[in-house]
Amino acid sequence: ASVTLKARAKAAEVKNPSVRGVLSEVAASILMKIVYMARLCRYDLLKVVNYLARFLTKWTEAHDKQLYRLMCYMHSTKSKRLV
């Protein structure tokens, strides 16, 4: 839940939220790979990924920043896993 709040705070910093995001073409592929991994061992990521997946058809720079934040969180918490 804290990831979602942080991602939303980062998105608020975007200067022009209506501009189509750079990752709009590959966002679906990235998110589905994360969903597959999260289903198996990282349940903490499911809520955030589902939130971002809602915006695949209207992807903006704000969502680019949120996805980047999610990737940073995943990288910094590699050691977390289902026990």
Would you say residue 30 has pLDDT above 90?
A: yes
How distant is the alpha carbon of residue 76 from its chain centre? 14
| Residues sharing a CB contact under 8 Å with residue 65, sequence separation 6 or more, in sequence order | 7, 10, 11, 13, 14
Which band of pLDDT confidence, cut at 50, 70 and 90, is reported for residue 70? very high
Q: How far apart are CA 81 and CA 83, in angstroms?
A: 6
Rounded to two decimals, the pTM is 0.74
| pLDDT tens figures, 40-67 | 888 889 999 999 999 999 999 999 999 9
